[in-house]
Amino acid sequence: MDTRSAPGRLRSLTSWLINQNAVTARNLVAAHLAGAATRRYHYSMLAALDEFGPASQADLGRRCGLDRSDVTACVTDLAEREWIERAPDPLDKRRNIVRLTKAGLKHLRALDRVVADAQDELLEPLSAAERAQLNELLTRVADHHAATA
Q: Indicate the domain borders of the chain.
A: 35-148
- The architecture CATH gives domain 35-148: Orthogonal Bundle (1.10)
Whether 24 has a pLDDT exceeding 80, the answer reads: yes
Helix (H) or strand (E) holding 96: strand 92-100
What pLDDT score does 1 carry?
66
pLDDT band for 28, please (50, 70, 90 cuts): very high
Distance CA 98, CA 89 (A): 9
Distance CA 109, CA 46 (A): 10
Share of the chain above pLDDT 90, in %: 85
Instruction: Output phi, psi for 13, to 5 deg.
Output: -90, 120
Beta-carbon contacts of 67 under 8 Å, excluding residues fewer than 6 positions away, are 61
What pLDDT score does 102 carry?
98
Round the CA-based radius of gyration of the chain to a whole number and report it. Answer: 18
Distance CA 47, CA 41 (A): 10
Give mean pLDDT, residues 91-118: 95
